[in-house]
């Protein structure tokens, strides 16, 4: 005879029941599957309630000096990761990854770095400040063209679009130099063409349309 299909009762969605099941799992009285069967709730609901009850763990801040001292303890004194983690308040995963890296004491660097050296960025920054002080209109296009000329003279191919920086790079350049926050720039294609490194005569750029 074919097996008779028995319709299972619907799962309980009462938040109080789900919370009760989650508390039993947190207290390690039952596993999540056992609690789900006992209270007729879904396993997913139990886990969600457990995360809500436990809350998100706050990261303990630590300095670079503490991290270096912890790594030295593990390397020189053969201290365990667990003991060092408790002593310095640094996550075990961080210590383990640092310990197995080629250069454990190296600082983590993010980003690709700047396209220009510091002296060239300072020259462009000074040039922008001088132009803004003389109340001359300076545009994004002017800065981009100037930087394009510098890179071509150095024989460097850094940016796409004929080695010309984008507006995103220019905005990042302005953020890197807090002194330029008060400088008001004109539209993209209107401004003064000049070269900050040569200090030549400025030529007015004609507007199209």
CATH number of the domain encompassing residue 93: 1.10.10
* Residue 59 domain flag: no
The total domain count for the chain is 3
* Residue 22 domain flag: yes
Residue 20 to residue 10: CA distance in whole angstroms = 18
Q: Are residues 22 and 80 in the same domain?
A: no
Position 151 scores a pLDDT of 78
Position 22 scores a pLDDT of 92
Position 12 scores a pLDDT of 86
Question: What is the residue range of 145's domain?
Answer: 118-204
Q: How confident is the model at residue 200 (pLDDT cuts 50, 70, 90)?
A: very low
Q: Beta 192-193 vs 203-204: how paired, if at all?
A: antiparallel
Q: Which of 176, 147, 177 shows the shortest CA–CA distance to 161? A: 147
Which sign, positive or negative, has the C-alpha torsion 149, 151, 152, 154? positive
Q: Are residues 92 and 149 in the same domain?
A: no
What's the average model confidence in pLDDT over 146-165? Answer: 79
- Residue pair 70/84 in contact (Cβ under 8 Å)? The answer is yes
Q: Are residues 140 and 199 in the same domain?
A: yes
* Residue 107 domain flag: no
| Model pLDDT for residues 29-58, shown as the tens digit of each residue | 889 999 999 999 999 999 999 988 887 666
**Better-predicted residue by pLDDT, 59 or 163:** 163
What's the average model confidence in pLDDT over 188-205? Answer: 43
Q: How confident is the model at residue 108 (pLDDT cuts 50, 70, 90)?
A: low
Q: Are residues 73 and 50 in the same domain?
A: no
| Model pLDDT for residues 77-104, shown as the tens digit of each residue | 888 999 998 899 888 888 888 888 766 7
Q: Are residues 75 and 50 in the same domain?
A: no
Q: Are residues 127 and 191 in the same domain?
A: yes
Q: Are residues 50 and 68 in the same domain?
A: no
Q: Are residues 156 and 185 in the same domain?
A: yes
| Four-point Cα dihedral 114, 119, 125, 131, nearest 10 | -140
* Residue 39 domain flag: yes
Q: Are residues 172 and 136 in the same domain?
A: yes
SS (HEC) of the chain: CCCCCCCCCCCCCCHHHHHHHHHHHHCCCCCHHHHHHHHCCCHHHHHHHHHHHHCCCCCCCCCHHHHHHHHHHHHHCCCCHHHHHHHHCCCHHHHHHHHCCCCCCCCCCCCCCCCCCHHHHHHHHHHHHHHHHCCCCCCHHHHHHHHHHHHHHHCCCCCHHHHCCCHHHHHHHHHHCHHHCCCCCCCCCCCEECCCCCCCCCEECCCCC
Contacts of 194 (CB under 8 A, 6+ apart): 127, 131, 142, 146, 200, 202, 203
């Amino acid at each position: 005879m074919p097996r008779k299909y028995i319709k299972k009762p619907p799962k309980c969605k009462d938040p109080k029941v789900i919370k009760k099941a989650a508390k039993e799992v947190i207290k390690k009285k039952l596993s999540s599957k056992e609690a789900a069967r006992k209270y007729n709730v879904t396993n997913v609901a139990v886990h969600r309630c457990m995360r809500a009850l436990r809350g998100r763990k706050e990261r303990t801040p630590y300095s670079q000096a503490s991290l270096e001292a912890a790594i030295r303890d593990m390397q020189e004194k053969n201290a365990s990761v667990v003991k060092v983690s408790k002593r310095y308040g640094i996550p075990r995963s961080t210590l383990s990854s640092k310990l197995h890296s080629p250069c454990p004491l190296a600082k983590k660097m993010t980003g690709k770095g700047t396209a220009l050296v510091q002296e060239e960025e300072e020259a462009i920054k000074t040039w922008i400040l001088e132009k803004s002080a003389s109340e001359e209109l300076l545009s994004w296009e002017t800065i981009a063209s100037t930087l394009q000329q510098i890179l071509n003279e150095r024989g460097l191919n850094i940016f796409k679009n004929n080695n010309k920086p984008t507006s995103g790079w220019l905005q990042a350049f302005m953020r890197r130099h807090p002194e330029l926050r008060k400088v008001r720039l004109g539209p993209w294609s209107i401004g003064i063409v000049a070269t900050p490194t040569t200090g030549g005569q400025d030529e007015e750029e004609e507007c199209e349309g």
